[in-house]
Amino acid sequence: MRHFLFVLSSIIFLLWGGVEGQSMTQEAIDLVERGNAFIRLGNPQQAIPLYRLAIGKDQQFVPAYYNLGLALAGTGNLAEAITVFQKVVELKPHFAPVYNDLGAVFLDKGEPKEAVKYLQQAIKLDEKLANAHYNLGLALKELKDNRGAIASLLKAEQLDPSKPEIFYHLGLLNQEAGNNNDAFDLYQKAIQLNPKYSQAHYNLGALFFYKEIFPALLIVYNDRSDSILIYLTLILL
């Protein structure tokens, strides 16, 4: 799961922060707020034309570009989202969240190397941006840098221990490294935070089988793997 920053919390920051020398027209603000109402209703597609209209009213209005980028990314229009986010970088180059969002989009496009560049810039600008550390962990995992991925995910956990996805991906990395006991605990933490986390339940169940049940079957069947396979086939029918 990728983490684009929440639209409404970001827009509040931008409306108050703005861009130096920028005058925000009331019409543009009203259009963005109407777009945000559609986001609240879970309908980003309806928000997109309103953000575009806001940009037409004020072509320097960062909140309209930023929320348009988020809405485009959320509806799968990744190429245009990148273009819009890059406009935000041009207008507000020290705004760390937009670099995180660019990194997340490149991750979704299957370009982890490009994602790393933006995510590292996000962290350089704001080292406490948990989403950037999390996404960097995912990007490094895609690049097979498991040690770097674990370090980034642990930093994300330190900054925001409420996200079950962090523990799930740490579990995957530990399981891949053969640290099944640690992976077991991490999947359990993910489930504690989100009891409906199906992937974590599945992996935890698989680990439990190999940790507890499979060794017992080896004893019962005297290490005869063919008998174990027959047993498993029968109970799964």
Q: The domain 162-237 is classified under which CATH number: 3.30.70.1250, 3.40.640.10, 1.25.40.10, 3.40.50.300?
A: 1.25.40.10
pLDDT at 234 over 60: no
Encode pLDDT of 29-53 as tens digits: 899 999 999 988 989 999 999 999 9
When mean pLDDT is compared over 58-62, 164-168, 218-222, the highest value belongs to 164-168
Residue with tokens 């950037």: 132
- Is the predicted pLDDT of residue 136 greater than 60, yes or no? yes
Residue that the structure tokens 């490149």 belong to: 106
Q: Please, are residues 32 and 63 in contact by the beta-carbon 8 Å criterion?
A: yes
Q: What percent of the chain has pLDDT over 90?
A: 67
Confidence band for 204, pLDDT divided at 50, 70 and 90? confident
Rounded to the nearest 5°, which phi and psi values hold at 223? 65, 20
Residue 133 to residues 4, 93, 126, 152: CA-CA distances in angstroms? 13, 19, 10, 5
Of 104 and 19, more confident: 104
**Residue 119, CA distances (Å) to 18, 129, 191 in order:** 23, 10, 27
Instruction: Count CA atoms closer than 13 A to 160's CA, side-chain side.
Output: 16
Q: What pLDDT digit, counting tens, does each position of 66-124 carry?
A: 999 999 999 999 999 999 999 999 999 999 999 999 999 999 999 999 999 999 999 99
Residue matched to tokens 């359990």: 188
Q: Taking residues 5-13, report their average pLDDT.
A: 42
User: pLDDT exceeding 70 applies to what percent of the chain?
Assistant: 78
Give the pLDDT score at 3: 54
Digit-coded pLDDT (tens) for 51-62: 999 999 999 999
Q: What's the pLDDT score for residue 215? A: 57
Nearest to 15 by CA among 2, 6, 26: 26
